[in-house]
Amino acid sequence: MTGLFSEVFLSALLFGAVTAAIPLLLAGLGEQMSEKAGVLNIGIEGMMLAGAYLGFVGAFYSGSLWLGFLTGAGGGMAVALVMALLCVRIGLNQIVIGIALTLGLEGLTALLHHFQFSRSYPRLPAVDVTVIPLLSDIPVIGPALFKQHLIVYLAVALVFGMGYIYRRTQLGLNLQAAGDKPAALDVAGIDVLRTRTVAVLTTGALAGLGGAYLANIGAGLFIPFITNGAGFLGIVLAMLARGRPVWVLFGALLFGVCLSLTTAMQVAGINIPTDIIQMLPFLAVMIMLVLFGRRAGLPAALGIPYERGAR
Amino acid sequence: MGSLSSLSGADKRDIVALEGVTKRFPGVVANDSVDLAIRPGEVHVLLGENGAGKSTLIGMLSGLQQPDEGRILVDGEPTAITSPRHALALGIGTVFQHMMLVPTLTVAENLLLGGPWWQRPKTEELEARVAGITRTLGITVKLHAKVSELSLGEQQQVEILRAMVRNSRLLILDESTSMLTPKGIDELGALMRRLVEQGLAIVFITHKLKEAAAFGDRISVLKLGRKVGEIPPERFRALGEQAIISEIVELMFGKQKDDPEAAQRPVRTIHAEAAPLLRVHDLAVAPTDDAPGLSSISFDIRPGELLGIAGIDGNGQKQLAEALAGQRATAGGSVRLEGASIEALSVGERRQKGLRYLTDDRLGEGTVGTFPVSINFFLKQVGAAPFWRKGVEQRAEIDQRAAQLVREYDVRTPSLKTPVARLSGGNIQKVLLARELAEGAKVVIFNKPTYGLDLANTLASRQRIRDTAARGLAVLLISTDLEELLSMCDRIAVIANGSLVGTVENVDDARTKVGRLMIGLAA
């Protein structure tokens, strides 16, 4: 039992938690923006998969992680463009299209991966971390939180950026109006469909980035269905966060700890069946939904395609 | 505003003028060649019942819809108002019947909505502008309160303020008094007066005659999409309030000479001594969030009698129909069918006893749109013999009977298998009629049976209802079309705010009496 509470173990646990939390954070922030604007983006899992695959391909062939993040975000946006076209412009059912996109991308990325990499199973080299002076010397949390790749700090900064957009900018007002009362936005002279399209595309970019992080930094390789429900957890986070980006951060960290614990407990050789340990994050989801889901104030027009003049 | 006089036709002073504007929706002509002149310094009242085409007219002025024919002139120039943004840019601000504010944002944020997305909201600038406007109008607005915390009257002031902040020259108020308290209505009237004194033009839509007479400078009356009359300002001032109201009643409810719907009501004799088939006493329904309640509703219907329920839409008609059919819980009173109390019975049991209800929501609650015509005839008998035996559908039995009903009721359908939603409104109504008038009917409640139907189907439905009464059934006909009631009923009761305010025998001067009851005057 001493191993479980050693400084090294706790630090590794926390480090793993952050690594696991970042894709959830990016997915949750992305989903939050869609939902704020009134689009329930079930396709986010598919956007993450596209981002993971293209992010890996980009990083693998260019040798640059940053270029990988860029192609990953681009891949997510490409899927989001389909979603925006079908669900926002044409007004098809968001749930059906979302599920279709997720399943489609699951198959497509697995297929492409099979053709390209099934013989070699290439891995990316270990990532460079940005060490923050002084803070990284703090025992336990220092090495876990302040010796991370730069994208981790950027993702956390994004939380506050999003908060600023929602609370202080015209764009934030427009997004919220598009989700709560799109007709009011329309008569105020703002194109509801354009506003929602912007939100869905941003979601795609963030989800793609999250997927690219998962492949390039979390695993260092792409495997089929690497996201393993991260996008769906992002949807849960967005719903529980009630429109506040900072709550997505807290939620992502909580789920991150659960996911990391799964790995850590297996490493520590604790005598619990792994199947049960792997249930932990999803158990946490259910507990959180029971505790907070009831009060999750979702936008009034969430999931309803906007049509001018319809009642 | 007092100095303005009227000239006929388009005028240079018109901010906006409509010329022969027509708008059609599938199966309905919402506006039929409407002319309208809107001038600064005038409250132009658009008066008409539900379905008269007021909202469509507003939709076209605010850029939500485009006219099919005719043109809209803005400052004398023919202009296609293509979007709400365009309407705003032209200086046309609209306060819609349903609040167009985002409830989760503050008042200030709502007023700022619509600015360029890359800019920071200009809160300070807004505060200064709002302070200036509210001072001259004598209203106070809580800028930093959430909209959901405001009363409906306050929300409306915010919407008017929003139009002012955007430099509107024409303010359209769509049924703005419908959700206000009497005090709120008076305040709105005073506010409109101050706004037109500042040179604004106002279009005020209402179906309440008293408001029209009290707040207007010019009144246009719409009926079934047509403009049937206009009272210009000089005439308006010459007439007293009572004279204006009676003139409007004449315009709204008066009979047109060339009205194709006019039909002579055959004189029928009802045995006054016959025991009532339906006897309702002191019926009450508790109000809900979205619907008014009913209180002390009492009436009798004898065999062969046609009792009409008149009233402005939304005064409890649907609640009354549903309470009688057993679809809505009552809060007291008794309903007797052939002397036997039925208020404890379920919907199905009431139907069994012979009480039938034809809903006005034909596709929503009346039929299952995706089911074939044949099944829709027997929706209320699903599971019952002879159409179902031991839970199995008897296709041959159903088709045979359905074919018979299709012939009998002249349902125009490509086949028995056609999903009922593909039929026209008139044919769906025939399916409903066939179903509800089938064997065993004793009392039939019709809720707005001709609403939204074209002329031929309207006349056919009316004949069907007359025949029903002639067969000796008791008929309750709920309608917002006074003409329809006058042409068919033996007696007409008027419903207002969930209670019957009077019952009139349908003889010579019934039209005037019912009209007066409907607008809240004693018969």
- Cα atoms in the Cβ-side hemisphere of radius 13 Å centred on A296: 21
Peptide bond before residue B419 is cis, with ω within 30 degrees of 0: no
**pLDDT (tens digit, 9 = 90+) per residue, B367-414?**
888 888 888 888 888 878 788 888 888 888 889 889 989 888 888 888
Shared domain check, B158 and B58: yes
Compute the distance between CA of residue A94 and CA of residue A299 in angstroms, rounded to an integer. Answer: 15
Tell me if B227 sits within 8 A of B46, measured CB to CB.
Answer: no
| CATH code assigned at B142 | 3.40.50.300
Cβ neighbours, 10 Å, residue A303:
17
Mutate to test the interface with B, among A35, A181, A194, A196 (most CBs of B within 10 A): A181
Which residues have a Cβ under 8 Å from the Cβ of A2 and sit 6 or more positions away? Answer: none
Mean pLDDT of B27-38: 83
Instruction: Give the per-residue pLDDT at A139.
Output: 77
Using a CB–CB cutoff of 8 Å, tell me whether B116 touches chain A.
yes
Average pLDDT, chain A: 87
**pLDDT (tens digit, 9 = 90+) per residue, B236-289?**
888 877 788 778 777 776 654 445 555 556 556 666 677 888 999 999 988 876
Number of independent structural domains in chain B: 2
Tell me if B403 sits within 8 A of B377, measured CB to CB.
Answer: no
Mutate to test the interface with A, among B96, B102, B155 (most CBs of A within 10 A): B102
Mark yes or no for CB contact B114/A176 under 8 Å: no
Helix (H) or strand (E) holding A65: helix A65-83
Angle B359-B360-B365 (CA atoms, 0-180°, nearest 5)?
A: 55
Shared domain check, B237 and B172: yes
Mark yes or no for CB contact A177/B115 under 8 Å: no
Instruction: Give the per-residue pLDDT at A88.
Output: 93
Residue B316 has pLDDT above 80, yes or no: yes
Tell me phi and psi for residue B390, to 5 degrees. Answer: 50, 40
Mark yes or no for CB contact A184/B94 under 8 Å: no
Amino acid at B201: A
Compute the distance between CA of residue B384 and CA of residue A201 in angstroms, rounded to an integer. Answer: 54
Which CATH number is associated with domain A2-295? Answer: 1.10.3470
- For residue B251, how far is the Cα from the chain centroid? 18
Cβ burial of A147 (10 Å; 0-12, 13-18, 19+) is middle
Mark yes or no for CB contact B62/A177 under 8 Å: no
B65 CA: distance to closest CA in chain A (Å): 8
Residue A304 has pLDDT above 50, yes or no: yes
Containing structural domain, residue B89: 16-253
Compute the distance between CA of residue B203 and CA of residue B45 in angstroms, rounded to an integer. Answer: 6
Tell me if A303 sits within 8 A of A97, measured CB to CB.
Answer: no
Closest CA to B265 of B23, B507, B19, B513: B507
* Mutual angle of helices B455-470 and B425-436, in 10-degree steps: 10
Q: How confident is the model at residue B508 (pLDDT cuts 50, 70, 90)?
A: confident
A130 CA: distance to closest CA in chain B (Å): 33
Tell me phi and psi for residue B504, to 5 degrees. Answer: -125, 135
Strands B388-389 and B226-231: unpaired
Shared domain check, B308 and B396: yes
Instruction: Provide the 3-class DSSP secondary structure of residue B448.
Output: coil
Q: Which of B253, B269, B289 is the C-terminal boundary of a domain?
A: B253
Copy the structure tokens of residue A136.
């990284």
Tell me if B127 sits within 8 A of B143, measured CB to CB.
Answer: yes
DSSP B275: P
Is position B152 within any domain? yes
Shared domain check, B287 and B230: no
Residue B1 has pLDDT above 50, yes or no: no
**pLDDT (tens digit, 9 = 90+) per residue, B196-210?**
998 899 999 887 777
Q: B306 forms bridges with which residues in the sheet?
A: B475
Residue A26 has pLDDT above 60, yes or no: yes
Q: Percent of chain B having pLDDT more than 70?
A: 90
Mark yes or no for CB contact A187/B100 under 8 Å: yes
Shared domain check, B174 and B116: yes
Mean pLDDT of B181-204: 87
CA dihedral B45, B51, B56, B59 (to 10 degrees): 70
DSSP B366: I
Instruction: Give the per-residue pLDDT at B265.
Output: 60
Strands B340-341 and B332-337: antiparallel
Instruction: Provide the 3-class DSSP secondary structure of residue B154.
Output: helix
Q: How confident is the model at residue A160 (pLDDT cuts 50, 70, 90)?
A: very high
DSSP B392: E
Tell me if B496 sits within 8 A of B482, measured CB to CB.
Answer: no
Shared domain check, B190 and B291: no
Most confident of A2-16, B21-35, B308-322: B308-322
Residue B50 has pLDDT above 70, yes or no: no
Q: How confident is the model at residue A311 (pLDDT cuts 50, 70, 90)?
A: very low
User: Which residues of A lie inside 8 Å of B (Cβ-Cβ)?
Assistant: 168-171, 173-174, 176-177, 180-181, 183-190, 300, 308-309
Mark yes or no for CB contact B105/A177 under 8 Å: yes
Is position B11 within any domain? no
Does B521 or B329 have the greater pLDDT score?
Answer: B329
Shared domain check, B361 and B237: no
Instruction: Give the per-residue pLDDT at B28.
Output: 67
Q: B504 forms bridges with which residues in the sheet?
A: B492
A75 CA: distance to closest CA in chain B (Å): 26
Is position B3 within any domain? no
Q: How confident is the model at residue A42 (pLDDT cuts 50, 70, 90)?
A: very high
Residue B473 has pLDDT above 80, yes or no: yes
Compute the distance between CA of residue A45 and CA of residue B156 in angstroms, rounded to an integer. Answer: 43
ipTM: 0.80
Instruction: Provide the 3-class DSSP secondary structure of residue B19.
Output: strand
Closest CA to B139 of B192, B215, B212, B102: B192
Strands B28-38 and B16-25: antiparallel
Q: How confident is the model at residue B9 (pLDDT cuts 50, 70, 90)?
A: very low
Instruction: Give the per-residue pLDDT at A179.
Output: 92
Mark yes or no for CB contact B102/A189 under 8 Å: no
Is position B258 within any domain? no
Helix (H) or strand (E) holding A26: helix A7-36
Mark yes or no for CB contact A170/B94 under 8 Å: no
Copy the structure tokens of residue B147.
């909209």
Q: Which of B59, B102, B116 sits opposite A177 (nearest CB)?
A: B102
Is position B263 within any domain? no
Shared domain check, B292 and B237: no
Copy the structure tokens of residue A176.
């919220």
**pLDDT (tens digit, 9 = 90+) per residue, A62-80?**
989 999 999 999 999 999 9
Mark yes or no for CB contact B103/A300 under 8 Å: yes
Closest CA to A22 of A218, A263, A228: A218
Residue A302 has pLDDT above 70, yes or no: yes
Shared domain check, B407 and B292: yes
- Cα atoms in the Cβ-side hemisphere of radius 13 Å centred on B225: 15
DSSP B257: T
Find the range with the poorest average confidence among A4-13, A15-24, B352-361.
A4-13
Mark yes or no for CB contact A187/B105 under 8 Å: no
Does A173 or A187 have the greater pLDDT score?
Answer: A173
**Measured CA distances, B338 to A152, B351, B354 (Å):** 79, 14, 10
Tell me if B39 sits within 8 A of B46, measured CB to CB.
Answer: no
Compute the distance between CA of residue B150 and CA of residue B146 in angstroms, rounded to an integer. Answer: 7
Chain B CB contacts of A309 under 8 Å are 59, 64-65
Closest CA to B275 of B439, B438, B443, B440: B443
Instruction: Give the per-residue pLDDT at B307.
Output: 93
Instruction: Give the per-residue pLDDT at B253.
Output: 67
A193 CA: distance to closest CA in chain B (Å): 13
B254 CA: distance to closest CA in chain A (Å): 32
Average pLDDT, chain B: 83
Task: Tell me the pTM.
Answer: 0.69
Instruction: Provide the 3-class DSSP secondary structure of residue B204.
Output: strand
Start-to-end C-alpha separation, chain A: 63
Residue A1 has pLDDT above 80, yes or no: no
Mark yes or no for CB contact A309/B113 under 8 Å: no
- For residue B286, how far is the Cα from the chain centroid? 22
Closest CA to B324 of B304, B312, B311, B309: B309
Residue B3 has pLDDT above 50, yes or no: no
Shared domain check, B452 and B307: yes
Phi-psi region of A181 (alpha: psi -120 to 50; beta: other; left: phi over 0): beta
Shared domain check, B365 and B298: yes
Shared domain check, B216 and B319: no
Instruction: Give the per-residue pLDDT at A43.
Output: 94
Residue A285 has pLDDT above 90, yes or no: no
Most confident of A46-55, A136-145, B109-118, B355-364: A46-55
Which residues have a Cβ under 8 Å from the Cβ of A143 and sit 6 or more positions away? Answer: A11, A15, A136
The structural domains of chain A, with segments of one domain joined by +, span 2-295
